[in-house]
Amino acid sequence: MIGSLLDTNVITKLLDRNSAAIALVQKIEKYFTSSIVVGELYYAAANSSKREVNFSKFREALSCMEIIPIDDDICMAYAEIKIGLKRIGKPIPENDIWIAACARVHNLSVATFDKHFSEIAGIEVVTIS
């Protein structure tokens, strides 16, 4: 693995100065995020009472990491992961399948506080136990 893809919950907890999130990110040498995570963050900002403050905070946080866009390879990985989860009867949130597909294609682990990423074959999960 060349690095780790930060899930939405890690970024939001980092911005809240959560000690577990800080400890998690300190374990990671190089980190990235996905355009799916950017969409989730922007939705949270748009849906908040502090809309402009949160947009600014999220944009600043995102400016210090590479954002991986969705491409054809990620779309194919998404389809494969979703089928695999369907076959074993372990559905997970749709956006998390996209995040996992992005990590798989770019050979990244996923830094998250969500346990369901461990249901996905071939995805290394970085978390605080």
Residue spans of the domains in the chain: they are 4-126
CA-closest candidate to residue 82, choices 96, 70, 68, 64: 96
Supply the pTM of this predicted model: 0.92
CB atoms within 10 A of CB 88: 10
Confidence of residue 1 (pLDDT cuts 50, 70, 90): low
Q: Which CATH topology does 4-126 take?
A: Rossmann fold (3.40.50)
Q: Is 72 helix (H, G, I), strand (E, B) or coil?
A: helix
Token look-up 């969705």 returns 70
pLDDT of residue 129: 62
Average pLDDT, whole number, for the chain? 94
pLDDT of residue 2: 80
What gap in Å lies between CA 113 and CA 20, rounded to an integer?
9
pLDDT digits (tens, 9 = 90+) for 72-118: 999 999 999 999 999 999 999 999 999 999 999 999 999 999 999 99
Please state the three-class secondary structure of 89-114 as a single string: CCCCCHHHHHHHHHHHHCCCEEECCC
Question: Would you say residue 52 has pLDDT above 70?
Answer: yes
